[in-house]
Amino acid sequence: MPDSPLLSTLLSSNPYFSAGVGVLGVGASLAILRQGLTRGMTLARRHLLVSLEIPSKDKSYAWFLHWMSKQSIRNAHQLAVETSFVQHDNGSVSAAFKLVPDNKMLDITTGSPWETVTLTTISRDRNIFTNLLHEAQELALAQQEGKTVIYTSWGPEWRPFGLPRKRRSLDSVILDKGVKERIVKDVKDFINNGNWYNERGYLLYGPPGSGKSSFIQALAGELEYNICILNLSEAGLTDDRLNHLLSNAPERSIMLLEDIDAAFMPKRETPGSSVTLSGLLNALDGVAASEERIIFMTTNYVDRLQQALIRPGRVDLKEHLDVASDYQIRTMFLRFYENETELAERFVEKIRGKGVSTAQLQGHFVFWKDDPRGAVQNADSVTQGW
């Protein structure tokens, strides 16, 4: 600052003015220092740090979130709770609570991711990203080994729903004589043929509780496939989105279109799907080019389906899963109560002709799981409910 007689006089004669100038100088110095530090930090981050962004649409996103949930939470200051709730067939309830790091990017109810995860490390340690992702992948694949993954649609994507489930054995599902064997043989012949450009669809129809969904889950376990469940009545589902989902399902998957008749019922007041029959037909025809994917459709009312939907080429095998036959009733009884042949015959006689589903039978046997005679004596309660 150039010398000035007036400034010199003010500084020497006015101590308040002198102090003000000093404060101003200190403030200016701090502002310059702060600006320098900011620029220095920016340069340091630019040259010393590297970031990796994992978007929710990337497959490794779910792997990383699962890996992160398995890490120690002792140093976490923000936690979320995951509650597992199970209501058993006998009416009892069990619940468990688990504390996990709260990253505000995961819907802990459905397991559905929301945003992105960003990781930052020192530039020279960038290999840690690859190592971390490999570890997350190995953990995820180990969790899925020997299990069936259930996928549901989330916008234009397929995402796992809940935890992978233990594979269900075919022996655990009791259908009428020859039905299970016929479907399994046809599916395996189709898979082993290798002509994936030839579309092949399956339709299971019959009353509720006849074992349609249970059999498909068991079939997926037998084939070591996963299951993609799509509800055609889902709100917001359009022809374009349906076509995209069916054409981009995970490999080695059974695409399950449940209660397909409900998609084209008269619209209720609540907004629902806008899928059209022509849109569905075009989407089904487009699946022919998708490798290692099989379409199964289920319905309780086959008479409501348009013939164009179930013609050969779209649906090549139709199986009727009806109410429990004598064979199914007897087999299920002996599955719960081994060597009780005489009681099994008495139970079949009491149930015959009453239109009982296998789901109703299972609930009855679970209730009387330790009392085969009680199961026979109270056979009427199968149709009466509780």
Amino acid found at 374 = G
Mention every residue, 6+ apart, whose C-beta is less than 8 A from residue 302.
203, 205, 261, 310, 318, 320
- Residue where one domain finishes, among candidates 145, 177, 211: 145
CATH code, 218: 3.40.50.300
User: 172 and 114, same structural domain?
Assistant: no
Question: How many residues in the chain?
Answer: 386
Decide: helix, strand or coil at residue 28. Answer: helix
For residue 294, name the pLDDT band (cuts at 50, 70, 90): confident
User: 197 and 64, same structural domain?
Assistant: no
DSSP 312: T
Q: Report the largest interatomic distance among the alpha carbons of the chain, rounded to a whole angstrom.
A: 123
Average pLDDT value for residue range 291-310:
87
| Alpha helix positions (H), the chain | 5-13, 15-48, 59-69, 127-144, 179-193, 212-223, 239-247, 277-286, 326-336, 341-351, 358-367, 372-377, 381-384
> 106 lies in which domain range?
52-145
User: 280 and 200, same structural domain?
Assistant: yes
Rounded CA-CA distance 375/90 in Å is: 14
Of 369 and 125, the structure prediction assigns the larger pLDDT to: 369
User: 363 and 307, same structural domain?
Assistant: no
Residue 180 lies in a domain: yes
Number of domains in the chain: 3
Of 167 and 290, the structure prediction assigns the larger pLDDT to: 167
Residue 37 lies in a domain: no
Least confident of 21-30, 48-57, 75-84, 176-185: 75-84
User: 82 pLDDT exceeds 60?
Assistant: no
User: 275 and 187, same structural domain?
Assistant: yes
What local confidence, expressed as pLDDT, does residue 24 receive?
59
- Residue where one domain finishes, among candidates 286, 320, 354: 320
Residue 125 lies in a domain: yes
Amino acid found at 189 = D
Rounded CA-CA distance 317/310 in Å is: 9
User: 136 and 115, same structural domain?
Assistant: yes
User: 222 and 368, same structural domain?
Assistant: no
Of 64 and 86, the structure prediction assigns the larger pLDDT to: 64
Residue 34 lies in a domain: no
Alpha-carbon dihedral angle through residues 248, 193, 171, 349, given to the nearest 10 degrees: 110
- Residue where one domain finishes, among candidates 111, 145, 179: 145
**pLDDT one-digit tens code per residue, 217-229:** 999 999 989 999 9
User: 316 and 244, same structural domain?
Assistant: yes
Residue 38 lies in a domain: no
What local confidence, expressed as pLDDT, does residue 344 receive?
95
Least confident of 1-15, 87-101, 317-331, 352-366: 87-101
User: 265 and 182, same structural domain?
Assistant: yes
Q: Is the pTM of this model over 0.85?
A: no
User: 97 and 195, same structural domain?
Assistant: no
Residue 72 lies in a domain: yes
User: 374 and 283, same structural domain?
Assistant: no
> Residue 88 — φ and ψ, nearest 5°?
-80, 165
Residue 22 lies in a domain: no
**pLDDT one-digit tens code per residue, 197-224:** 556 789 999 999 999 999 999 999 999 8
User: 141 and 237, same structural domain?
Assistant: no
C-alpha distances out from residue 155 to 67, 205, 262, 275, Å: 24, 28, 21, 14
For residue 98, name the pLDDT band (cuts at 50, 70, 90): low
Ramachandran class of 162: left when φ > 0, alpha when ψ lies in -120 to 50, beta otherwise: left
